[in-house]
Chain A
Amino acid sequence: DTAVSQTPKYLVTQMGNDKSIKCEQNLGHDTMYWYKQDSKKFLKIMFSYNNKELIINETVPNRFSPKSPDKAHLNLHINSLELGDSAVYFCASSLMAVRGDSPLHFGNGTRLTVT
């Protein structure tokens, strides 16, 4: 059983398109996250939701909109895709939004390529 699953695994699209990435966790965790990993492997948090409520919103273009229909799902919608959006996007979850005691569990990533 996959704990944190993301779809699709690969996404190739053209500039200007709108696309979504879906994430589901079956761990019963309350908190979910989106991270972006660039071509140099650098990871940066984008968003976090706790029980469907947005708790972390980093400086991300408003073309990126997360949506959490329930605490087991956190989707990422991206409007008007740009070349610079090409990256690997990781979904993650943790038991609670409490520092230190709730390690993050990551999905296998979605590699987005914008041409």
Chain B
Amino acid sequence: GDSVTQMEGPVTLSEEAFLTINCTYTATGYPSLFWYVQYPGEGLQLLLKATKADDKGSNKGFEATYRKETTSFHLEKGSVQVSDSAVYFCALIGGGATNKLIFGTGTLLAVQP
């Protein structure tokens, strides 16, 4: 079945450091790919998405490019802030007929001042 694999956390960075969170997927057909963010005590918020190969999703300084050849959707940010501390989830919606969102295990990011 469809699945998402994320790098294990926690990832601890200093403010203004470069961030990469790796995400790879397995899916039949052409999935849509997403990054969601969960701040402490809150629900998940959509951060960015890409619906076809080579698309780049971007939001709030975060970027991810849909790479079909490597089945990857790595999240990057050039300069993280303390306020970026959260759990980041990579997710996909596969080729089925329904909007079934499949999540990776989440990566905790802790940014220190």
Output the nearest chain B residue to A104 by Cβ-Cβ distance. Answer: B101
Q: A31 to chain B: closest CB distance in Å?
A: 6
Size bracket, chain B contacts: 20 to 34
Q: Is residue A96 within 8 Å, beta carbon to beta carbon, of the partner chain?
A: yes
Distance in angstroms between the alpha carbons of A51 and B94 in the assembled complex: 21
Q: Which residues on A sit within 8 Å (CB–CB) of B106? A: 41-43
B43–A42 CB distance below 8 A? no
Of B42, B98, B103, B105, the residue contacting A99 (CB under 8 A) is B98
Q: A14 to chain B: closest CB distance in Å?
A: 25
Q: Is residue A75 within 8 Å, beta carbon to beta carbon, of the partner chain?
A: no
A100–B103 CB distance below 8 A? no
Output the nearest chain A residue to B103 by Cβ-Cβ distance. Answer: A43
A56–B98 CB distance below 8 A? yes
Q: Which residues on B sit within 8 Å (CB–CB) of A80? A: none
Q: B6 to chain A: closest CB distance in Å?
A: 11
A108–B43 CB distance below 8 A? yes
A106–B44 CB distance below 8 A? yes
Q: A3 to chain B: closest CB distance in Å?
A: 10
- Chain B residues numbered 9-45 whose CB sits less than 8 Å from any CB in chain A: 31-32, 34, 36, 38, 41-45
A103–B42 CB distance below 8 A? no
B95–A103 CB distance below 8 A? no
A48–B42 CB distance below 8 A? no
B87–A41 CB distance below 8 A? yes
Q: Which residues of A approach B to under 8 Å, CB–CB?
A: 4, 31, 33, 40-45, 48, 55-56, 90, 92, 94, 96-109
Q: Which residues of B approach A to under 8 Å, CB–CB?
A: 31-32, 34, 36, 38, 41-46, 49, 51, 87, 89, 93-103, 105-106, 108
